[in-house]
């Protein structure tokens, strides 16, 4: 009998202990009906099974029973708050003290998961978020001290997650799709615009000058004042010209040689033998975008000799034309022959490094090219013929670059037809471009790229930007690290090299 009573008493004591344990335990739960698969796997309501974790079940045990340290004082998710503006959505997780947390992204970047350890949930669910960039904000608890906040976004947007103290909180910033335009009237006829666009592609920052050419002159300036001086920064070129504003010009070589069909004050500054888009300043004051193709010849001894280049380094067996835009001397070696020409007649014959008088040209020949000039002497008739194509021959000033971006208000990128390489034709990059409005105003556009504040633009996107600001025609200039806009002596953009790049030329805006 005594043995029976002992057994009954032991059983009763065991039931009391089990009841006490169940009363003390914290049952974990998923606190949003819309919960989806978290970063750690399935979300399930956990059941207590003697302090062990089984498949699909999570045991809630106290820190003491698991041999863990107690949670930090105040480590409790007390609230989820939202701040929604045109630029961003801010989600604030009030945690009292800063917990250990990690951040991950899922679903091709459209789901942000913030997992916080050593934290309890003091709320059952996150309040509804009415922002137009978020589908849902989900709150889930896992075990006794892990909380997840899952943000399902409508697109893969840029996010930033960071902690703040006093009081402790986790902050989630989501950059929204938006456009922000800041316009400044620099002077009558000169407007400056900073434009920022954020969307699923990322953030893009651009800078634009709108120039009324009835109030300001626009032209191309050479670095150092001539080609042989080499390269210089856009800021220094603008300063030397007393320009109120400037952007980088067309393509160039490392020695400052211009690579593009370019004419300044009636003289050829640089050439390319590709058929590419150029901008002509026409005699009637209008601007004209047209394809140009340089052709140059020398008429000597009854023969036509094709020019190999203008104002560039003389190579083997070539015929190069130099004029005063190159500098004071040709800087050639003694292994060729040079003929100084003025008004169609030879005024001097030299071996190399000839002086270039104002109003004269120098024809420099080397190797097999010298045969056509056999016997030519001072006083003989030698003439030079040049053409940039019928559409632009009348232009006194021509800026060559390309490709075309916009024609008659329609995006028209001609990179393939103009045979541009992929580093210019493809992908996003810093860009510089020129637009022409219907009223004749000129747009000078620079887009930053390869940086956290701006992803750059494709050629199509550059054309779309020009169109957005009212251009009906437009073309591309040199880009990448060359892209730069200077206004009143200040560099307004952020060149992707981390500093100003020295370039061959700049488009400068000066007062009339």
**Long-range contact pairs involving 334-341 (C-beta distance under 8 Å, separation at least 24):** 335/366, 336/364, 336/365, 336/366, 336/367, 336/370, 337/364, 337/365, 337/366, 337/370, 337/373, 338/362, 338/363, 338/364, 338/365, 339/363, 339/365, 339/373, 339/376, 339/382, 341/382, 341/383, 341/384
The neighbouring-strand residues paired with 91 are 82, 172
Question: What average pLDDT does the segment 143-150 reach?
Answer: 94
Is the pLDDT at 4 greater than 80? The verdict is no
pLDDT given at position 108: 87
| Residue carrying the six token digits 């340089």 | 294
Is the pLDDT at 183 greater than 70? The verdict is yes
Is the pLDDT at 399 greater than 90? The verdict is yes
pLDDT given at position 73: 54
Residues 237-276: tens digit of each pLDDT? 999 999 999 999 999 999 999 999 999 999 999 999 899 9
Note the pTM of the prediction, 2 decimals. 0.77
The neighbouring-strand residues paired with 433 are 445, 476
Strands 190-199 and 111-117: unpaired
Is the pLDDT at 41 greater than 90? The verdict is no
Task: Please state, rounded to an integer, the average pLDDT across all residues of the chain.
Answer: 88
The whole-angstrom separation of Cα 123 and Cα 422 is: 54
Using the CB atoms, write b or e for 440-457: b if 16+ within 10 Å: ebbbbbbbbbbeeebbbb
* CA quadruple 344, 350, 354, 356: dihedral, nearest 10: -20
Confidence of residue 2 (pLDDT cuts 50, 70, 90): very low
Q: How many CB atoms lie within 10 A of CB 73?
A: 8
Burial class (CB in 10 A: 0-12, 13-18, 19+), 18: exposed
pLDDT given at position 39: 40
Is the pLDDT at 417 greater than 80? The verdict is yes
Confidence of residue 10 (pLDDT cuts 50, 70, 90): very low
Strands of the 410-411 sheet, one edge to the other: 178-187, 190-199, 202-211, 442-447, 431-437, 471-476, 404-407, 410-411
pLDDT given at position 42: 35
Is the pLDDT at 197 greater than 80? The verdict is yes
**In this predicted model, which residue has the larger pLDDT, 169 or 155?**
169
Please state, for a pLDDT cut of 70, what percent of the chain lies above it: 86
pLDDT given at position 267: 98
């Amino acid at each position: 009998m005594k043995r029976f009573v002992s057994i009954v008493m032991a059983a009763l004591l065991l039931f009391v202990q089990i009841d006490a344990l169940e009363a003390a335990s914290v049952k974990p739960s998923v606190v949003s009906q819309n919960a989806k698969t978290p970063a750690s796997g399935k979300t399930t309501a956990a059941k207590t099974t003697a302090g062990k974790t089984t498949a699909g079940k999570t045991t809630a045990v106290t820190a003491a029973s698991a041999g863990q340290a107690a949670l930090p004082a105040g480590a409790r998710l007390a609230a989820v708050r939202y701040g929604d503006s045109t630029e961003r959505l801010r989600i604030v997780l009030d945690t009292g003290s800063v917990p250990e947390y990690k951040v991950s992204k899922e679903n091709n970047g459209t789901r942000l998961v913030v997992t916080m350890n050593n934290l309890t949930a003091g709320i059952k669910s996150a309040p509804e978020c009415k922002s137009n960039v978020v589908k849902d904000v989900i709150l889930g608890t896992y075990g006794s001290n892990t909380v997840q906040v899952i943000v399902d976004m409508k697109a893969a947007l840029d996010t930033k997650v960071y902690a703040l103290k006093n009081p402790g909180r986790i902050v989630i910033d989501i950059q929204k799709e938006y456009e922000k335009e800041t316009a400044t009237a620099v002077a009558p006829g000169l407007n400056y615009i900073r434009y920022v666009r954020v969307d699923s592609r990322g953030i893009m920052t651009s800078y634009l000058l709108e120039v009324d050419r009835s109030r300001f002159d626009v032209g191309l300036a050479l670095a150092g004042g001539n080609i042989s001086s080499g390269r210089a920064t856009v800021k220094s070129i603008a300063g030397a010209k007393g320009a109120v504003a400037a952007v980088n010009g067309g393509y160039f070589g490392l020695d400052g040689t211009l690579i593009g069909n370019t004419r300044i004050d009636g003289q050829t500054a640089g050439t390319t033998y590709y058929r590419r888009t150029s901008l002509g300043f026409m005699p009637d004051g209008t601007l004209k975008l047209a394809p140009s193709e340089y052709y140059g010849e020398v008429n000597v001894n009854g023969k036509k000799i094709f020019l190999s280049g203008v104002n560039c380094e003389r190579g083997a067996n070539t015929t190069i034309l130099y004029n005063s835009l190159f500098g004071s001397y040709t800087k050639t070696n003694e292994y060729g022959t040079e003929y100084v020409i003025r008004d169609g007649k030879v005024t001097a014959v030299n071996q190399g490094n000839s002086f270039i008088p104002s109003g004269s040209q120098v024809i420099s020949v080397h190797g097999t090219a010298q045969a056509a000039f056999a016997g030519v002497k001072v006083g003989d008739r030698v003439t030079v013929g040049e053409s940039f194509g019928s559409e632009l021959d009348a232009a006194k000033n021509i800026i060559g670059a390309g490709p075309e971006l916009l024609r008659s208000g329609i995006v028209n990128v001609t990179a393939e037809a103009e045979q541009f390489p992929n580093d210019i034709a493809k992908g996003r990059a810093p860009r510089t471009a020129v637009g022409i409005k219907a009223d004749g105003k000129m747009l000078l556009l620079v887009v930053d790229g390869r940086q956290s504040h701006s992803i750059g633009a494709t050629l199509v996107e550059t054309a779309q930007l020009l169109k957005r600001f009212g251009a009906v025609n437009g073309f591309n200039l040199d880009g990448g690290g060359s892209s730069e806009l200077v206004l009143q002596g200040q560099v307004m953009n952020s060149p992707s090299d981390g500093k100003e790049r020295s370039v061959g030329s700049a488009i400068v805006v000066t007062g009339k």
